[in-house]
Amino acid sequence: MPERSGFVGLLIGFLSKFILLLVLLAVGAGVWGVMQEPDQLRYTQVRMKSGQWPLHWQPIRVVVVSDLHMGSP
């Protein structure tokens, strides 16, 4: 590949480094999403009592799942 000089050479050098940086950031984000993020899931159980809820009724279970970012393996 012939050497380029001047503005074109600087531009090609900058763009190649910028693309390499983007690729490394994408790979790093993918590794973090697969290795680290699943360890951050939280499970919280809360019991509430109400004087207005009839005793002979079954308790209600409420499940809230939020902020899902699907796409990792």
Residue of 34, 70, 41 lying closest to 26 (CA atoms): 34
pLDDT at 43: 82
* Residue 52 domain flag: no
* Residue 13 domain flag: yes
Count of structural domains within the chain: 1
* Residue 69 domain flag: no
* Residue 10 domain flag: yes
pLDDT tens for the chain, 73 residues: list them.
556 678 888 888 899 999 999 999 999 998 888 887 777 777 888 888 888 888 888 888 888 887 776 665 5
What spatial distance separates the first Cα and last Cα of the chain, rounded to whole Å? Answer: 39
The whole-model pTM stands at: 0.48
pLDDT at 23: 97
- Alpha helix (H) ranges present in the chain? 6-35
Which residues span the domain enclosing 21? 6-40
**Pair of tokens at residue 48:** 């509430």
pLDDT at 4: 67
Q: CA dihedral in degrees (8, 12, 15, 19; nearest 10)?
A: 170
pLDDT at 15: 94
